């Protein structure tokens, strides 16, 4: 479905992503894991054609450089980390923007499926009642749900997430990840996401790509990739021991 071959991204002369290759198939939720500065977000930026890179990304057999932005957006949607608003757009207007690439003609009409998909996206993310609310009145969690609804309205087959639940409280993290897992159940869909929280990665991911200093340390099924040795090598820490110690605090008092 999506593959990257020998991808290198440089900021100045420094390679931030270095000769990295990977592939993603339908049904997979691939977690990009690694410490800060590993190049995860830059790799996502390169996939979405936001930064210049060398190497080749292939989407369903085609070089992504040859695909127009609108065509890419009809298949691939991106949910970024932080979305702040300057103007008082309504929730519905922002979600409706997800239909941009599907609209045709001078008046942007001809998108009959669009209205239905916007309604569905609002319903799935629990925003139907807030549809007319101004974006400036929403909490951080509500704002992030609006952008999640926007990517659902975009009706992609690949969803790319760059730490979507960062800065959100547990309730919203769970709600967003559960919603995405349900979305993934439909055939032909895949998710590629950057997650800092390894517990979340383990809980929701099917596959993982572990990165350090711009290179892939390992990749494959999540249980194989997030093994004790590789994690220790990447994080310079016994992650397993840390996780167990942390979990020990979460027992009911006798």
Partner 1 sequence: MKGSRQTWQERFSPMTYVILAAVLLLTMLLCVCMGSVRIPLRETAAVIRDAVLGRSLPESTFRNIILNIRLPRVLCISLVGAALSLCGAAMQGLLRNPLADGSTMGVSSGAALGAAIAMAAGFSLPGSAFGGVTVMAMLFAFGSLMLILSLAYALDRSLSTGSIILIGVVFTMFISSVISLVVTFSSDHTRSLNFWTLGSFSGTGYHHARLLAAALLICGCILMHYRRELNAFAVGEDNARHIGVPVRRVKLVILITVSALIGVCVSVSGTVSFVGLIMPHIARMLVGPNHSRLLPASLFSGAIFLLLADLAARTVLSPIELSIGVVTSLIGAAAFIVIFYHTRKAG
**Residue 68 has what DSSP assignment?**
-
Closest CA to 30 of 235, 239, 225, 252: 225
Positive or negative: CA dihedral 203, 205, 211, 214:
negative
**Nearer Cβ to partner 1 (83/227):** 83
Least distance to partner 1 from the beta carbon of 74, Å? Answer: 7
In the structure encoding, which two tokens stand for residue 146, read together?
């609006």
In the complex with partner 1, the residue whose CB is nearer, 6 or 137, is 137
Which residues in the 152-181 window bind partner 1 by CB under 8 A? 154
Residue 63 β-bridge partners: 58
Is residue 117 helix, strand or coil?
Answer: helix
Q: Token pair of 23, please? A: 């592939």
d(CA 244, CA 111): 51
Which of 73, 117, 122, 198 is close enough to bind partner 1 by CB under 8 A?
73
Tell me, by CB under 8 A, how many residues bind partner 1: 40
Answer yes or no whether residue 132 interacts with partner 1 by CB under 8 A. Answer: yes
The correct pick among 8, 58, 83, 218 for binding partner 1 (CB under 8 A) is 83
| Residue 240 near partner 1 by CB under 8 A | no
44 near partner 1, rule: CB under 8 A: no
Q: How far is the CB of 228 from partner 1 (least distance, A)?
A: 36
Note whether 149 binds partner 1 by CB under 8 A. Answer: no
CA distance 30 to 207: 4
């Amino acid at each position: 479905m999506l593959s990257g071959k020998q991808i290198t991204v440089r900021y100045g002369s420094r390679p931030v992503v270095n000769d990295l290759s990977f592939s993603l198939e339908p049904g997979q939720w691939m977690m990009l894991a690694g410490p800060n500065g590993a190049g995860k977000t830059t790799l996502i930026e390169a996939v979405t054609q936001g930064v210049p890179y060398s190497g080749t990304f292939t989407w369903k057999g085609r070089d992504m450089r040859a695909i127009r932005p609108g065509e890419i957006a009809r298949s691939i949607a991106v949910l970024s980390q932080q979305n702040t608003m300057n103007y008082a757009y309504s929730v519905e207007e922002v979600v409706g923007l997800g239909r941009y690439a599907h609209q045709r003609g001078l008046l942007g009409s001809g998108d009959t499926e669009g209205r239905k998909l916007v309604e569905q996206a609002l319903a799935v993310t629990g925003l139907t009642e807030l549809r007319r609310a101004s974006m400036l009145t929403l909490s951080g969690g509500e704002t992030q749900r609006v952008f999640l609804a926007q990517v659902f309205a975009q009706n992609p087959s690949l969803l790319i997430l760059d730490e979507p639940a960062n800065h959100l409280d547990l309730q919203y993290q769970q709600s967003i990840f559960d919603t995405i897992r349900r979305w993934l159940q439909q055939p032909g869909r895949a998710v590629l996401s950057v997650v800092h929280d390894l517990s979340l990665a383990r809980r929701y991911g099917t596959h993982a790509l572990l990165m350090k200093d711009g290179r892939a340390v390992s990749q494959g099924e999540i249980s194989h990739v997030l093994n004790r040795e590789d994690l220790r090598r990447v994080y310079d820490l016994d992650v397993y021991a840390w996780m167990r110690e942390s979990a020990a605090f979460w027992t009911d008092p006798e």
